[in-house]
């Protein structure tokens, strides 16, 4: 069978493979995940270390793996042409993408190819003749996979699932490991295909474990707190946007409706960010609290057992449900809390290192001029996101010479008292790099249109 892995160019741990086959007028989706539980016994030293780490941590220049590389990049990695043990979820879906039946199997697969997101995008979106020729017989199943992914996306949005559009930074390193560029990470239909198939598999496993009435690790995302919703509603009013409430509470569909209203507007990025920050953080729990963002009552993590400890636990619990093998861990609550905590630590570390790389990249760019747009406004200045490189910095009000600038919070702008000059979210602006400080974790800009009193000029006049 032409089952394949699809990952980033630099990925080394291939923990899931996918295949979409025709089934009458519908589809059969197979998601095969590395059977890590076969190699990592519950309570073993390997298991205890994986639990302590909780997750793999991904930095621009290295990975701190949850499992030893002999497992994560070796015998558990679904490399092409090599037999690998997997747990497979096979979903039968009708022509509209609705699940009809689900099957779970322990299996051996041999991946037909290790594909990259770029290759798949070139084949499906760009219709690159040379790439399509090289992929040969894989084109038909890939095009079928694209069709199914679009159906799954549409069905998820119909039920109110929220899709944020917040690009992530990708740090391009030179041969010495120094940042050579900061770009917006690509997100194409290739990424969306894998996301949709993983979501479908995770939901299928959650439904199955729920059917067996087994306690298991849920991935939960609780409703936003009332005070956060009130603050969000006030924020949105400044842009003429309204958050619909159902008996005083927002629904996931109401959040998605706001995102659709703001799509293509100058303030789109800011609204996406503020909506995301108004929500509670997703976490792991031993009880079914629902997943607000996905608009589903029951969800879990199953598809990444190489790099997430909760997925490994869920693999074992599926064995308990289907084969009576093993047992339910007595400390699921503690595992959920530990895993949530380790996930937060990993995310903070990843963000910190990416920001550090951005600052390092900008350190030798002092004096360079870039086009950008106002991405945020505060009483002390405004933030600018550059277009050429994916970097954000601050223009401090003290560098805006010849006027006193007031922060008009309701309109998300700064306004000069004398000149009435405004800087509003979404406005285009040209800036000059004033400096970048690793110690302060800051990138400083000044406006480069001739109306600015630059810091070094003010210092010279004072002297």
- Mean pLDDT along residues 166-173: 93
Give the model's confidence band at 249: pLDDT under 50 very low, under 70 low, under 90 confident, else very high: confident
Nearest CA among 372, 377, 373, 455 for reference residue 415: 377
- Mean pLDDT along residues 388-400: 95
Give the model's confidence band at 100: pLDDT under 50 very low, under 70 low, under 90 confident, else very high: very high
In this prediction, residue 452 carries a pLDDT of: 44
In a shared domain, residues 188 and 48: yes
Indicate whether 191 pLDDT > 90: yes
In this prediction, residue 454 carries a pLDDT of: 43
Q: What is the pLDDT of residues 42-70, one digit of tens each?
A: 999 999 999 999 999 999 999 999 999 99
Q: What is the mean pLDDT of the chain?
A: 93
Nearest CA among 351, 365, 352, 390 for reference residue 444: 365
Task: Determine the structural domain holding residue 293 and report its residue range.
Answer: 4-162+170-222+281-359
Q: 359, 378, 400 — which closes off a domain? A: 359
In a shared domain, residues 60 and 96: yes
In a shared domain, residues 79 and 56: yes
In a shared domain, residues 340 and 393: no
In a shared domain, residues 191 and 100: yes
Give the model's confidence band at 245: pLDDT under 50 very low, under 70 low, under 90 confident, else very high: confident
Question: What is the domain count for the chain?
Answer: 3
Indicate whether 463 pLDDT > 60: no
Q: What is the pLDDT of residues 305-317, one digit of tens each?
A: 999 999 999 999 9
In this prediction, residue 280 carries a pLDDT of: 95
Q: Which residue has the higher pLDDT, 20 or 409?
A: 20
Indicate whether 451 pLDDT > 60: no
| Residue 44 near residue 60 (C-beta atoms within 8 A) | no
Give the model's confidence band at 457: pLDDT under 50 very low, under 70 low, under 90 confident, else very high: very low
Which range has highest mean pLDDT (93-107, 229-243, 411-425, 440-454)? Answer: 93-107
In this prediction, residue 247 carries a pLDDT of: 78
In a shared domain, residues 15 and 151: yes
In a shared domain, residues 23 and 106: yes
Q: 277, 298, 313 — which closes off a domain? A: 277
Question: Is the model's pTM score more than 0.85?
Answer: yes
In a shared domain, residues 21 and 84: yes
In this prediction, residue 19 carries a pLDDT of: 98
- Mean pLDDT along residues 281-308: 97
Q: 359, 375, 401 — which closes off a domain? A: 359
In this prediction, residue 326 carries a pLDDT of: 85
In a shared domain, residues 398 and 444: yes
In a shared domain, residues 381 and 236: no
In this prediction, residue 460 carries a pLDDT of: 36
User: What would the two tokens of residue 367 be?
Assistant: 């004096």
Indicate whether 428 pLDDT > 90: yes
In this prediction, residue 198 carries a pLDDT of: 98
In a shared domain, residues 181 and 115: yes
In a shared domain, residues 242 and 208: no
Task: Write a three-state SS string for the chain.
Answer: CCCEEEECCCCCCCCEEEEEEEECCEEEEEEEEECHHHCCCCCCHHHHHHHHHCECEECCCCEECCCCHHHHHHHCCCCECCEEEEEEEEEEECCCCCEEEEEEEEEEEEECEEEEHHHHHHHHCCCCHHHHHHHHHHHHHHHHHHHHHHHHHHHHHHCCCCCCCCCCEEEEECCCCCEEEEEECCCCHHHHHHHHHHHHHHHHHHHHHHHCCCCCCEEEECCCCHHHHHHHHHHHHCCCCCCCEECCEECHHHHHHHHHHHCCCCCHHHHHHHHHHHCCCCEEECCCCCECCCCECCCCCCCCCCCEHHHHHHHHHHHHHHHCCCCCCCCHHHHHHHHHHHHHHHHHHHHHHHHHHHHHHHHHHCCCEEEEEEEEEECCEEEEEECCCCCEEEEEHHHCCCCCEEEEHHHCEEEECCCCCEEECCCEEEEEEEEEECCCCEEEEEECCCCCCCHHHHHHHHC
In this prediction, residue 434 carries a pLDDT of: 96
Give the model's confidence band at 266: pLDDT under 50 very low, under 70 low, under 90 confident, else very high: confident
Q: What is the pLDDT of residues 321-373, one digit of tens each?
A: 999 988 999 999 999 999 999 999 999 999 999 999 999 999 999 999 999 99
């Amino acid at each position: 069978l032409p089952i394949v892995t699809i990952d980033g160019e630099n990925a080394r741990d291939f923990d899931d493979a996918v295949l979409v086959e025709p089934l009458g007028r519908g589809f059969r989706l197979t998601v095969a995940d590395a059977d890590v539980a076969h190699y990592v016994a519950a309570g073993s030293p390997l298991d205890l270390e994986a639990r302590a780490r909780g997750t793999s941590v991904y930095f621009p220049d290295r990975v701190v793996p949850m499992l030893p590389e002999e497992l994560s990049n070796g015998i558990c990695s679904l490399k092409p042409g090599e037999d690998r043990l997997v747990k497979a979820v096979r979903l039968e879906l009708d022509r509209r993408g609705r699940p009809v039946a689900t099957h779970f199997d322990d299996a051996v697969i041999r991946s037909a190819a290790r594909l990259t997101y770029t290759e798949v995008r070139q084949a499906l979106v760009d219709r690159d003749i040379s790439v399509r020729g090289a992929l040969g017989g894989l084109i038909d199943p890939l095009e079928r996979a694209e069709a199914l992914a679009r159906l799954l996306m549409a069905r998820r949005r119909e039920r109110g699932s929220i899709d944020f559009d917040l690009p992530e930074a990708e740090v391009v390193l030179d041969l010495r490991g120094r940042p050579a560029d900061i770009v917006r990470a690509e997100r194409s239909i290739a990424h969306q295909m894998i996301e949709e198939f993983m979501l479908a598999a995770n939901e299928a496993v959650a439904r199955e474990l729920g059917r067996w009435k087994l306690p298991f690790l849920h991935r939960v995302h609780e409703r936003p707190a009332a005070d956060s919703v009130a603050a969000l509603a006030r924020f949105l009013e400044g842009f003429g946007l309204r958050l619909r409430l159902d008996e005083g509470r927002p629904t996931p569909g109401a959040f998605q409706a706001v995102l659709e209203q703001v799509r293509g507007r100058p303030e789109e990025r800011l609204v996406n960010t503020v909506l995301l920050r108004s929500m509670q953080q997703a976490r792991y729990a031993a009880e079914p609290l629902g997943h607000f963002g996905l608009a589903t009552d029951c969800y879990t993590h199953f598809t990444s057992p190489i790099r997430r400890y909760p997925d490994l636990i869920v693999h074992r619990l599926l064995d308990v449900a289907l084969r009576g093998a093993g047992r339910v861990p007595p400390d699921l609550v503690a595992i959920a809390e530990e895993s949530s905590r380790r996930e937060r630590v990993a995310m903070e570390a990843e963000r910190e290192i990416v920001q550090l790389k951005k600052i390092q990249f900008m350190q030798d760019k002092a004096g360079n001029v870039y086009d950008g747009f106002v991405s945020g406004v505060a009483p002390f200045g405004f933030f600018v996101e550059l277009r050429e490189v994916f970097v954000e910095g601050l223009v401090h009000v003290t560098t805006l010479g010849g006027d006193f600038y007031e922060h008009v919070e309701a309109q998300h702008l700064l306004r000069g008292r004398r000149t009435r000059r405004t800087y509003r979210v979404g406005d285009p602006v040209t800036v000059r790099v004033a400096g970048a400080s690793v110690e302060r974790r800051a990138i400083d800009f000044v406006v480069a249109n001739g109306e600015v009193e630059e810091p070094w000029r003010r210092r010279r006049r004072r002297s």
